[in-house]
């Protein structure tokens, strides 16, 4: 398969939106990046349409077409009939003039090829005695059947697409010419590359618009009235049937659009529930006017259908019908490389995702897969990662968070701006003698705590850190930290129980005070003793002095 869709890795934000909208889940994730699995992709372009970051890109073939124009060979354009919806008020004459200014030899409507194809469908219904016939105009539908419903290939009309039928006709009429198809479809790029020698390049309407803008070429508004143009209905749901005779009473004719609806119909066929039907299948909802380029940049289903209906005539284009053999197109099975896991392997992966019983399988679809089992298969095949499971990650994060919150020794209380308790942990319950969370959850904090500090934080916007508070009703001392989260409009209170520390501090202070008192008493007593001793010593010294003085005087007298 041609590499028609690419990925800008820098733009991928791992949102899983592409896998959610991919009908065949042909996208794998690795290293937080999305990758398209080529042999599984049906090129419906939905990943391109829904990607919010424009990470998915359609490969631009403008330069390839420029090279064709410079080759010297005449280059003819086959333009899809949906152009009338994409370029409002612009008819085929105006398109021809603009394309000739770009260097093309001429341009014609692909609807001419559609006329050839629908005639072949009518012939098959009336002459080939087939049970079921599925239209083969849509390359994405063809790929869907080739890759996912190989048993139904026998029902796929082995007829070239309108693009191929028209380009074959252009090359037959202009030997040596090159052909370029322009339309709203990414799958046509792959069809042109796979079936070589018919269509040399494919441009999208978006690529053409950019090119015209670069060359300052303006599309002129004008109308084309051509009654012989009924096949212009082809790009609408049921448009193929509108052009067909539908005159075989044995057949039921029906139109189905959207890949999911096509898959449902193919399953019905596979189960043997459908017979004698001609089924027009389109991968895009609304058919080609709902193509990926149209849907991404120009989505207006009612207006677009009206534009096509007013542009289409009531009769067929005047065109010679080639031999049926010339229009034959063979389809082969395209094998997918990835094998499915066994039931045991699926269960092992489900267990890794935290899913041990059917009730654990939420099938929420956030990962992009319809069921948890589908996701498990994708993990086994290397297309997905366990971390893509949002409930698993949420439960894991909550479990981890709850484990921390409920095992921390600090009390945690979360309040809203109305000072109502939103969350309280085990430590806080114990601190405040509460039996369970339900005793206080949703109630005013004033029931369990003084609200003044919380009100101050709300009023000033200034957080409080490690403020010592005595909670008299609980006979507890705490260090209280209050943080105001403005983004989530929550007050977070952290309470550290310092009662033991405070009691130890008070005990130490009491001991110190008692020690000081004892020391003071000892000092006082000692001072009294000293004073008494000093007094006694003073009296004794005086008496001695008197005695000695008397003795001295007596000796002197003698």
Report the alpha-carbon distance of residue 142 to residue 42 in Å, rounded: 8
The rounded Cα 68 to chain-centroid distance in angstroms is 39
Give me the pLDDT at residue 297, please: 76
Measuring CA to CA, which residue among 208, 363, 206 is closest to residue 295?
A: 206
Report the alpha-carbon distance of residue 329 to residue 194 in Å, rounded: 12
CB atoms within 10 A of CB 553: 10
Report the alpha-carbon distance of residue 490 to residue 502 in Å, rounded: 30
Residue 335 has pLDDT above 70, yes or no: yes
The answer to whether the CB of 155 falls within 8 A of the CB of 143 is no
The answer to whether the CB of 368 falls within 8 A of the CB of 16 is yes
Residues present in the chain in total:
558
Report the alpha-carbon distance of residue 59 to residue 32 in Å, rounded: 23
Residue 540 has pLDDT above 70, yes or no: no
- What are the pLDDT digits (tens) for 442-493? 999 999 999 999 999 999 999 999 999 999 989 999 999 999 998 888 999 9
pLDDT, greater one: 384 or 95: 95
The answer to whether the CB of 414 falls within 8 A of the CB of 424 is yes
Strand partners, 255: 280
CA pseudo-torsion sign 242, 182, 190, 304: negative
The 3-class SS string of 354-374 reads CCCCHHHCCCCCCCCCCCHHH
| C-alpha distances in Å from residue 526, one per residue of 25, 158, 400, 514, 530 | 98, 124, 67, 18, 6
Average pLDDT, the chain: 89
- The highest-confidence range among 250-259, 415-424, 520-529, by mean pLDDT, is 250-259
Give me the pLDDT at residue 504, please: 87
Confidence of residue 7 (pLDDT cuts 50, 70, 90): confident
Give me the pLDDT at residue 393, please: 63
Confidence of residue 400 (pLDDT cuts 50, 70, 90): low
DSSP state for residue 71 in the 8-state scheme:
T
Where do the domains of the chain lie, and which CATH numbers do they carry? 1-59 (3.30.70.20), 60-327 (no CATH), 339-407 (1.10.15), 418-497 (3.30.450.20)
Element (H, E) at 77: strand 75-79
DSSP state for residue 152 in the 8-state scheme:
G
Range from 13-17, 160-164, 272-276, 304-308 carrying the lowest mean pLDDT: 13-17
Confidence of residue 57 (pLDDT cuts 50, 70, 90): confident
Measuring CA to CA, which residue among 194, 206, 235, 259 is closest to residue 42?
A: 259
Q: Are strands 178-183 and 75-79 parallel, antiparallel or unpaired?
A: parallel
The rounded Cα 107 to chain-centroid distance in angstroms is 40
pLDDT, greater one: 492 or 54: 492
Residue 537 has pLDDT above 80, yes or no: no
Greatest Cα-to-Cα distance within the chain, rounded to the nearest angstrom: 181
């Amino acid at each position: 398969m041609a590499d028609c869709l690419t990925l800008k890795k820098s733009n991928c934000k791992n949102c899983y939106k592409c896998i959610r909208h991919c009908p065949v889940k042909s996208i794998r994730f690795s290293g937080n990046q999305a990758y398209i699995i080529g042999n599984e992709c049906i090129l419906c372009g939905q990943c391109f349409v829904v990607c919010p970051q424009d990470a998915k890109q359609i490969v631009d073939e403008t330069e390839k077409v420029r090279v064709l124009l410079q080759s010297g060979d005449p280059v003819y354009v086959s333009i899809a009939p949906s152009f009338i919806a994409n370029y409002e008020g612009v008819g085929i004459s105006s398109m021809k003039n603009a394309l000739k200014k770009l260097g093309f030899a001429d341009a014609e409507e692909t609807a001419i090829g559609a006329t050839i194809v629908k005639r072949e469908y009518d012939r098959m219904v009336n002459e080939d005695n087939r049970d079921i016939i599925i239209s083969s105009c849509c390359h994405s539908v063809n790929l869907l059947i080739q890759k996912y419903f190989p048993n139904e290939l026998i029902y796929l009309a082995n007829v070239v697409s309108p693009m191929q039928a028209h380009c074959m006709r252009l090359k037959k009429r202009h030997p040596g010419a090159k052909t370029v198809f322009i339309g709203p479809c990414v799958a046509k790029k792959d069809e042109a590359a796979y079936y070589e020698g018919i269509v040399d390049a494919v441009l999208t309407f978006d690529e053409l618009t950019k090119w015209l803008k670069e060359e300052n070429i303006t599309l002129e508004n004008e109308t084309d009235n051509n009654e012989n143009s009924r096949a212009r209905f082809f790009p609408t749901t049921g448009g193929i049937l509108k052009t067909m005779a539908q005159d075989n009473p044995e057949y039921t004719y029906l139109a189905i659009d959207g890949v999911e609806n096509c898959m449902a119909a193919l399953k019905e066929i596979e189960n043997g529930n459908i017979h004698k039907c001609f089924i027009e299948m389109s991968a895009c909802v609304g058919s080609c006017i709902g193509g990926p380029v149209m849907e991404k940049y120009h989505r207006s289903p009612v207006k677009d259908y009206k534009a096509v209906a007013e542009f289409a005539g009531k009769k067929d284009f005047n065109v010679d019908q080639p031999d049926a053999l010339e229009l034959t197109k063979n389809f082969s099975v395209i094998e997918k490389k990835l094998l499915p896991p066994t039931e045991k392997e699926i269960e092992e992966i489900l267990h890794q995702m935290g899913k041990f019983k059917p009730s654990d399988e939420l099938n929420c679809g956030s990962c992009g897969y319809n069921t948890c089992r589908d996701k498990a298969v994708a993990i086994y095949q290397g297309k997905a990662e366990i971390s893509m499971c949002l409930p698993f990650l949420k439960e894991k994060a909550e479990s981890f968070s709850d484990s921390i919150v409920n095992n921390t020794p600090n009390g945690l209380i979360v309040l809203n701006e109305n000072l109502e308790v939103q969350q309280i942990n085990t430590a806080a319950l114990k601190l405040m003698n509460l039996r369970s969370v339900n005793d206080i959850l949703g109630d005013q904090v004033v029931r369990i705590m003084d609200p003044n500090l919380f009100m101050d934080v709300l009023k000033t916007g200034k957080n409080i850190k490690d403020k010592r508070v005595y909670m008299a009703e609980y006979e507890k001392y705490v260090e209280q930290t209050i943080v105001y989260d403005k983004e989530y409009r929550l007050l977070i209170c952290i309470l550290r129980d310092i009662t033991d520390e405070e009691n130890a501090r008070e005990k130490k202070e009491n001991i110190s005070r008692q020690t000081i008192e004892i020391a003071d008493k000892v000092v006082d007593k000692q001072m009294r003793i000293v004073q008494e001793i000093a007094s006694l010593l003073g009296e004794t010294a005086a008496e001695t002095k008197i005695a000695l003085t008397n003795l001295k005087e007596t000796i002197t007298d003698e």
